[in-house]
Chains A and B, each alone.
Chain A
Amino acid sequence: MSEQKTSKELLNELLETHYDNAMKVQSEGKLLAWCTSISPQELLETMDIYAVYPENHAAAIGARKQAPDFINYSESNGYSSDLCSYARVNLAYMDILQSEAGNIPRPDLIFCCSNICNTVLKWYENISKELNIPLIVFDTPFNHQYEVNDQCTQYIKGQLLEAIGKLEQITGRKFDHDRFREVMKISSETSKWWKKASLEAAAKPSPLNGFELFNYMAAIVCARGTVAGRDLYKLWYEELRDKAAKGLGPWKDEDEKYRVMWDGIACWPYLGLTYKTLKKYGINMVTSTYPDSWYIVYDVDDLDGMARCYSSNYVNRNLSFGADNIVDIVNKFSLDGIVFHSNRSCKLMDFRQFEIQRQVEARTGVPSIIFDGDQTDPRAFNPSQFENRIQALVEMMESRR
């Protein structure tokens, strides 16, 4: 009997299969959709439409340090350098169709949810126009009130129902409600294991080095509605739970001296550098805003709940929620500091960063720094400026002990 695989091995296999299958399914008569990272994939899974995620793919291209090829292509095509770098990478990829980070074929339809971003609407609309393929949009209005209100819930639910009709039209098949229930159940379970695993990082020392969270995120995006995804996160949770029970920290060769969270998207081209810089000072990034982003949990058959969940992402919630959310993370994970990534690509995330920083510091007394960077464009990051701010954070954390 072969030994049981680790979650890391399962993760790598899952991602490899994800990209391999993406290149095959269309020749087998399946449709393939390009989707935003937190979209109601349940509908696609139910209709047996293969979902791939350009944001995930662009991040992988960034991590392989290949983004400049795509970014330059898009910019010479007339896209502004002020535009999101995921968009610039993906809009170029749509033409180039070849990357070192795995390939995805051109889509048959577009599945776009505005809960994480406003740029996606125009980005995906462009793809839909250029390729002349159907575009299904889920408009999740920004929540100016603390909770998602009933009107918004009904509005989004209406769009879910409409999308089902459109998918029936596109595929020429009836929507299978039994299968839908099954997928809803699996999706919620996967989300629960993902969150449960990431919560293990609350242990001191944390068994999790948060940069692993960035790696594991790839599969919560693309395999949330699958049994393989659910089993992966359950196993990951068990591994972290066991590690925490043994009192093991994030690294074998170093103790966890400081615990911080990372606000915003990773700097994919500098993943190794940012990780090593933090580790050099004994800083473990134990968590980020990611664990909650894919905590999409609702009861089977509860379309209202599903609609509310898809609108609940923290970037789609008001300032009070944004501040409460981080204060809660600071307390839950016993943090010593916060690293805010002022991400040139993401105006939506950066817009209120200064104010959130001010409020969180006033309420928790935890020091923080903001550094400039970008999720995929390497030109917007400077290693020595990053280290300078990180070391200053260490000096502030030290003086508050």
Chain B
Amino acid sequence: MPERAYMGIDIGSSSSKAVIIDRDAAIRGEHIINLGTGSRGPADAIAKAFEQAGITKVDRTVATGYGRILFKEADKQITEISCHARGVKQLVPTAETVVDIGGQDAKVIRVKPDGRVENFVMNDKCAAGTGRFLEVMSRVLGVGIDQLSELADKGKPGVNISSTCTVFAESEVISQLSSGSSIEDVALGAHRSIAERIVGLAGRVGIEDDVVMTGGVALNDSVVQAVEDVSGHKITRLKDPQGMGAFGAALYARDLDN
């Protein structure tokens, strides 16, 4: 059992992530549940993380993500923009740019040497280029969202999804499929479409190496590859991109104890 324990809880639109660290920033407990704000997701993620860490309480908690404001038990609420930057900088000290694609947001964050946010851009209210876009695509293609990457690996380039609007893109994909494109090719085209959208957004703050991708969408290696292809920058892959917001929040929680 760690002497002191700090928790970061990232309550997103479609998943909840809890990370518990000790004084040395080592992860002692972590759990991710695909249920977001307003559900039992946060409580379950926390319970599981506690169990893994073998503790019943933590010393400090920082909440982040869209559900952070409603999570009253936290000592502090910090935006996921700052938390992703902080988490990444801890693991990849050379990181200058973080591309975070979550359930409803896509962000490009420029990180300062101290892990704070230099500048950032975010998608507007439109769901294009976010995890929600991939959810819609996986439904149309009749596969699970976690199978999209593997599917796209077998696809050939050439299917172009030009609509930026997720609703229009859905109809576009349906007509691509009815005109004979394979689901593999369409999956690859969808990933390319996300990558183009995010790289277009990144142009406003500039991309500097090293570039790290976080958020649930970074679990899809085909999207990461597409972002590399479109941006011309190598992307540093993390073992746990989805937990990066919660990890950063846990680091901020540890700061509160100092």
A358-B204, A382-B125, A385-B125 known; A391+B79 contact, CB < 8 A: yes
Name 15 A/B residue pairs within 8 A (Cβ), A-sorted. Answer: A342-B124, A354-B204, A361-B119, A372-B125, A384-B69, A385-B125, A388-B66, A391-B77, A392-B117, A392-B120, A395-B78, A395-B116, A395-B117, A396-B116, A396-B119
Interface flag for A367 (CB, 8 Å): yes
A392 touches B81 (CB 8 A): yes
C-alpha spacing A361/B78, complex, angstroms:
23
A358, A384, A392 — most chain B CB neighbours (10 Å): A392
Q: Which residues of B contact A389 (CB under 8 A)?
A: 122
43-82 of chain B: CB within 8 A of chain A: 66, 69, 77-79, 81-82
A interface with B by C-beta (< 8 Å): 342, 354, 358, 361, 367, 372, 380, 382, 384-385, 387-389, 391-392, 395-396, 399
**Cβ–Cβ < 8 Å partners of B119 in chain A:** 361, 367, 396
Using C-beta atoms within 8 Å of the partner chain, give the interface range for chain B.
10 to 19
Tell me which residues across on chain B come within 8 A of A385, comparing CB atoms. 125
Which residue of chain A has the shortest Cβ distance to B116 in the bound complex? A399
Q: Lowest 3 A-B CB distances belong to which pairs?
A: A399-B116, A392-B79, A392-B81
Contacts of B124 in A (CB 8 A): 342, 372
CB under 8 Å from chain A, chain B span 188-235: 204
Residue-by-residue, is B112-128 near A (CB-CB < 8 Å gives 1, otherwise 0)?
10101111101011000
Closest B residue to A379 by CB, please name it: B125
Q: Which residue of B lies closest to A354 (CB)?
A: B204
Q: How far is the CA of A384 from the CA of B119 in the complex (A)?
A: 20
Quote the shortest CB–CB distance from B132 to chain A (angstroms): 14
Q: Which residues of A contact B79 (CB under 8 A)?
A: 388, 391-392, 395
Q: Specify which chain B residues have a CB less than 8 angstroms from the CB of A358 in the assembled complex.
A: 204
Q: Which residues of A contact B125 (CB under 8 A)?
A: 372, 380, 382, 385
List the A side residues contacting B116 at CB < 8 Å.
Answer: 395-396, 399
Please provide the chain B residues from 134 to 154 with a CB less than 8 Å away from any CB of chain A in the complex.
Answer: none
B109 nearest CB neighbor, chain A only = A392
A388 contacts which chain B residues (CB < 8 A)?
A: 66, 79, 81
**Interchain CB contact under 8 A, A399 and B69:** no
Q: Give the shortest distance, in Å, between A370 (CB) and chain B (any CB).
A: 8
Which of A361, A367, A392 contacts B82 (CB under 8 A)? Answer: A392
Once the chains bind, are A395 and B82 in contact (CB under 8 Å)? yes
**B202 CB to closest chain A CB, in angstroms?**
13
Minimal beta-carbon separation of A345 from chain B (angstroms):
14
Closest to A387 in B: B69
* A272 shortest CB reach to chain B, Å: 17
| A385→B125 CA distance, assembly (Å) | 8
B81-125 vs A, CB cutoff 8 Å, 1 = contact: the mask equals 110000000000000000000000000000010101111101011
B204 and chain A: residue at smallest CB distance: A354
Roughly how many angstroms separate A1 CA and B115 CA in the complex, as a whole number?
A: 64
Shortest Cβ gap from A306 to chain B (Å): 40
Residue of B whose beta carbon sits closest to that of A368: B119
Residue on B nearest A355 in the bound complex, by CB: B204
In the assembled complex, the Cα of A354 lies from the Cα of B119 at a distance in Å of: 13
Known contacts A384-B69, A391-B79; 7 further A-B pairs (Cβ under 8 A): A392-B81, A392-B117, A395-B81, A395-B117, A399-B112, A399-B116, A399-B117
CB distance from A342 to the nearest CB of B (A): 7
Give the complex CA separation of A342 and B126 in angstroms: 14
